[in-house]
Amino acid sequence: MKEIDVDKLVLELVGRVAGEIGTILYSLQLEDEFTDDKLALELGIDISEIRKALFAMYEIGIAEYKRKRDDETGWMEYYWRINYSRAREVLKRELEKTKKKLEEKIDSESNAIFYICPNYCIKVSYDDAIELNFYCPKCGSMLNYLDCENAIRNLKEEIKKIDEILKTL
Ligand SMILES: [Zn+2]
């Protein structure tokens, strides 16, 4: 079996939720606590962008923060820490979430009957297709029964891939 690169998968996940800036921040391997305003200065990236990325990482549990009042200025400061040690756990949880969504999609695809125009103008439910007498209202072609088997097979393939990764985590 192909070796699974957990670090790469985590980085992809961070990129998906926190964008390019999230990827940059995560790659910095910041072992110590840091404030977002200082980091913004050091990196020359807008503080709102940094905060947005950090909060997105916080949402999935890969970053955490404490708020402290600065004694000198009286301002609230955010002290951040990136949870590199929890990366595997976070990845596992997110993959399980994705898997659940895919399974739900399979359920809905399996239960639904669709009709589609051969020119791809519309995709409608069985009831709507009856209303239309099985003709496309745009181009007048006869609607075809949509075979969902391919889509379902692809979803199952994706789930299989996720299962293989989950086995190693
Ligand atoms: Zn059509």
| Counted domains in the chain | 2
User: Per-residue confidence of the chain (169 residues) as pLDDT tens digits?
Assistant: 567 788 899 999 999 999 999 999 999 999 899 999 999 999 999 999 999 999 999 999 999 999 999 888 888 999 999 999 999 999 999 999 999 999 999 988 888 889 999 999 999 999 999 999 999 999 999 999 988 888 899 999 999 999 999 998 8
Ligand 1 center from residue 67 Cα (angstroms):
58
Produce one character per residue of 44-77: b if its CB has 16 or more CB atoms within 10 Å, e if not. Answer: eeeeebbbebbebbbebebbebeeeeeeeeeeeb
- pLDDT at res. 2: 62
Domain final position from 38, 55, 87: 87
Whole-number Å distance, alpha carbon 78 to ligand 1 midpoint, is 55
Ligand 1 centroid distance, CA of 163 (Å): 39
Whole-number Å distance, alpha carbon 139 to ligand 1 midpoint, is 4
Structure tokens at 146: 């949509």
Span from the CA of 134 to the centroid of ligand 1 (angstroms)? 11
Q: How far is the CA of 19 from the centre of ligand 1 (A)?
A: 38
Q: Are residues 103 and 45 in the same domain?
A: no
Name the residue with tokens 């609230």: 76
Cα(39) to centroid(ligand 1), Å: 54
Domain of 120 in residue numbering reads as 97-168
Measured distance CA(141)–CA(95) in Å, rounded: 41
Please say which residue of 87, 116, 140 terminates a domain. Answer: 87
Residue 143 structure tokens: 């609607």
This model's pTM is above 0.85: no
